[in-house]
Structure 1
Amino acid sequence: MKKIKTDFAPRFRAGKKSSGLQLMETFFHFNELDVSKEILSKMMNYAVKRNSWINEDPAVIFQFHQSIRLLMRAGYLITLKDRKWTVDTQPEKISPWVLGLLSEKEYRNPVLVFKKAFRAYTLKEFDYFMSGIVYFSMGVYENLPERNIVMPYIHTVKMLDAAHLILQRRREKKMADTHSG
């Protein structure tokens, strides 16, 4: 009897079927920015606490884990193309509330967020980070994560903001093109 091996590895391709922008749109179709940041923050908080675990449905955590991995792959695909989503604004016009964790330079060109993140960490390392905070937030464990999980967390939050900003600018550009044409 022949053994059939099933490949459960996630697949993504930068073709017509799934571009980085389409994957980002899919992420935000099912996840709101503020809710995503809140879930990520809760997971991070519980991952570093001892003797406590997150009070969320495990299915919600798993779905979020899979969704954020999709977003990270979308960002990776965006970095492979040299397209810019820049905006021309004067520095005094940008409110600190709008920037969030992004620098002014990153706000002007959100693709820089993904480029910096993937220079610092690989997709596999981001997967490891996400798996780690899911694991440590879902139960009580003696050991805490053995690696620095703060920097990947900051990069992930910035990726959420940058992806949302890219899609917002894309919608604004489409609206401007529609009204001008």
Structure 2
Amino acid sequence: MKKIRTDLQSRLGKGRKKHCGLQQMETFFQLNDLTATKELLNTIMSYALKRNSWIKEDPSVIYHFHQAMRSFVRASYFLILKEKKFVVNTQLEDVSPLALGLLSEKEYQNPLLVFKKAFKEYSIKEFDYFISGMVYFSMGIYDKLPERNMINPYIHMIKMLDAAYLIIERKEKI
């Protein structure tokens, strides 16, 4: 009798073509609210850096968030691979600092710069490692803190979420 193994690896995006990063981002924002995602990312990050506490969220919510963020990172990478087809430069008219968020004025004009900068510093595997480590350390009490700097990838993730939302928003206005 043959043993059948179940592949527990995420299948999000595996059957799709690699050039549909924008579609994957649209789907991500249809299923996840920007502010709720940023709040959960912030909460997970703060619990990951605390030694004597763990997150009170349901583990299934955390697992869904983990998988969604992994697919978001891949969609972001696919988006910069096909950037020649997709130009989002806009002129900056009186924008309030609240609308900019963590983005600079140049990044607000061209959100693809955020993704280029993030993937210049970190690879997809390093972002996966960051997301997995952040979730792992937030779900339990551990003696040791993560061995790598978790702040820089966290800032990149927040900026990528803002930039992706800007791209989707501007695409809908066209």
2:73 touches 2:124 (CA, 8 Å); kept in 1?
yes
1:14 equivalent to 2:18? Answer yes
Cα distance in 1 for partners of 2:77, 2:127 equals: 11
Superposed displacement of residue 164, structure 1: 0.5
Let me know the Cα RMSD of the aligned residues: 1.4
**Cα deviations across residues 19-62 of structure 1 (Å, max 9, x unaligned)?**
11110111111110000000000000000001101110010011
Number of the residue aligned with 2:145: 144
- Structure 2: 5+ residue stretches without partners: none
Runs ≥4 residues deviating over 4 A: 1-7
- Are 2:52 and 2:141, in contact at CA under 8 Å, matched by a contact in 1? yes
Q: Which runs of 5+ in 1 are unaligned?
A: 174-181
User: What does residue 162 of structure 1 align with?
Assistant: 163
Q: Do the aligned partners of 2:10 and 2:67 also contact (CA within 8 Å) in 1?
A: no
Aligned to 2:73: 72
Q: How big is the shift at 1:13?
A: 3.2
Aligned pairs for 1:30-179 (under 5 A) are 30-82=31-83, 83-90=86-93, 93-173=94-174
Q: What is the letter of the counterpart of residue 31 of structure 2?
A: F
Please tell me the residue identity of whatever aligns with 1:14. K
Aligned amino acid, residue 50 of structure 1: R
Structure 1 or 2, whichever has the larger Rg, is 1
Q: Which amino acid in 2 is paired with 1:134?
A: V
Instruction: Provide the C-alpha distance between the structure 2 equivalents of 1:97 and 1:151, rounded to a whole number of angstroms.
Output: 21
Matched length: 168
Q: How far apart, CA to CA, are the structure 1 residues paired with 2:151 and 2:24?
A: 25
Percent identity over paired residues: 57
- 1:178 maps to which residue? none
Q: Supply the distance in 2 between the matched residues of 1:9 and 1:55 (Cα, whole angstroms).
A: 24
Q: Per-residue displacement from partner, 1:156-177 (whole Å, max 9, x unpaired)? A: 000110111000001111xxxx
SS in 2 for 1:71: helix
In structure 1, what is the Cα distance between the partners aligned to 2:56 and 2:34? 20
